[in-house]
A and B are shown apart, each in its own frame.
Chain A
């Protein structure tokens, strides 16, 4: 299955992935219209300083602690992507507490959000010549200025 990972050798700590993530999850389009004057709630977060930095986002664990801990049954694995059904989420924050990577982020409304590899963001769809959707390219991967964030098919389990 596909996973996003970060090559810290090339991560510049520019934090642009956070903004592109926040924008993509607000429907995409003009970033300034979505984000001007707002505190962003990105599902990817850059750690580190100017010398060593790397972006962290959901590892899409095979046996996710968040899924086990969810009291509302809102978290499930859909085609390998650990996903949150925001209609079921009751905002208890158990998943926030159990995630070892700190990758679950409360939204403004109190329900949780997390990286879902942009599979629900129509703006990140990869299309073939006829316009059919063949996959999704995560916004952070697409816009990293130094190709530090990559999405690859991997067998490695978190």
Chain B
């Protein structure tokens, strides 16, 4: 007999208000709710509830709520309830625990202990509603273009031509209306309608979304100028037209939620158009290896960077995405020297469609620290302008976004936030592929729950709201261009940090003058 695990959540139904319309039972893909004819009552099986709030949201009389069960073990500060239950699950199954979305553990947040500056008396603040406020950015190499051959030896090319004239040719750039992009989520991990929403919203907003590693569905080539196409270790769905379709090509070396390990789309999800788009046999497991099997050094990475530059006629910037790990600054320095135009760093709170729980919760480092040390290292080595820095991994609000820019990011990636705008309620059950919101599923009746017209509008609203907030904060600081905020760590002050933490972030203590 299996060890019994008491349900984590309980469905509470207000019987006075429930009219037995059965919307809850029709909408729950986990089959929690059911109608009992004999008693003319709705029933709920708490053990199946993942707390996604689909029923709560749709209930027309608001008769439902989900509560965390107060069922308890003997209280133990060392053995938490979650730890005990997870141990039981593993004793039952013998398997690795799987989880989805970002790290939910109570690790300290550095964003929350950073505060922003504003102008008072001695320097004028700016009203963004009355004066122009520039949020446009260009991502890519800002220094002279190196030769296209991978075997060129000049890491930093001369800024002058042999005849003494200045080189004016620019490397290819991504133009963004604001320093924000939707980060990589593959078609397969999320649904067709979720991709459609992201693609349309990115196009309306003048920013980019990212295909993830699953290839680009043929319907979405029309959004190419606002698409970043990804090349990951599985090399799914990659062909010449795909590489040429986007505004940039991203090489995925790692992911913040699961640094050091690959991906696994089960065969039963790799069907129909997902398999077609991935160019894999239908029904076969789509396995992304942990490493790229042709990349074991920066020199190998350089070969892939230059292969992709050649394949795209040197018209697309190349992004290299890594997870934030202990040696991130040295790795980023290597990537900058590999010829990549943009480095994307994914912090340990970044989301995922499925990852081993222990890896998601324990591997990697906070994005704030990774960003600060990479930016500092690249500056120290005089190669900061050779690359743009894009960071992601739980940018939860415009405040996090603004703080990341002030710490040195050229742009931020958001994905969890974007999915929440599409309806995600962070139930962290993506790996079950039964997403009641039509996002992380391929079941046709669930996928159609996400109408891209609504999804697109919500994404556009969210990003516009953040852009307004960015402008307000910049105006308060007396800054009228986001370029002037980037790396401007004097706009940040620390509260509740140790000296070492402040040193690592390159910020001063609150109260300390410039």
Contact = CB atoms under 8 A, between A and B. Distances in A.
Chains A and B form a bound pair: yes
Interface of A: 9-10, 12-16, 18-20, 23, 30-32, 35-37, 50-51, 143, 145-148
Nearest to A9: B448
Nearest to B450: A146
B40 to A, nearest CB: 8
Interface string B6-21: 0000000000111101
A23 B21 CA distance: 12
A35 B19 contact: yes
Given A32-B18, A51-B445, A143-B60, A15 B451 contact: no
Contacts of A147: 451, 453-454
Contacts of A18: 21
B61 interface: yes
A14 B58 contact: yes
User: Ordered nearest first, which 4 A-B pairs have the shortest CB separation?
Assistant: A32-B17, A32-B61, A35-B19, A146-B451
Nearest to A23: B60
Interface in B33-80: 57-58, 60-61, 63
B448 A16 contact: no
A7 B453 CA distance: 12
A36 B27 CA distance: 20
Contacts, number: 59
B177 interface: no
Contacts of A19: 19, 21, 23, 60
Given A32-B16, A32-B18, A16 B23 contact: yes
B19 A32 contact: yes
Most buried by A among B21, B444, B445: B21
Contact of A13 (B26, B57, B444, B451): B26
Given A147-B451, A148-B451, A36 B19 contact: yes
B22 A12 contact: no
B377 interface: no
Interface of B: 16-19, 21-23, 26-27, 57-58, 60-61, 63, 444-445, 448-449, 451, 453-454
Contacts of A145: 57-58
A59 to B, nearest CB: 23
14 contacts: A9-B448, A14-B23, A14-B27, A15-B21, A15-B22, A19-B23, A31-B60, A31-B61, A32-B18, A32-B19, A32-B63, A35-B21, A36-B16, A145-B57
Contacts of A148: 451
A19 B451 CA distance: 21
B448 A10 contact: yes
Nearest to B18: A32
Contact of B21 (A9, A10, A16, A30): A16
A37 B63 CA distance: 14
B232 to A, nearest CB: 31
A59 B202 CA distance: 38
A50 B453 CA distance: 21
Given A35-B19, A50-B445, A147-B453, 10 more contacts: A12-B26, A12-B449, A14-B26, A15-B26, A18-B21, A31-B19, A36-B19, A143-B60, A145-B58, A148-B451
Contacts of A143: 60
A32 B63 CA distance: 9
Contacts of A10: 448, 451
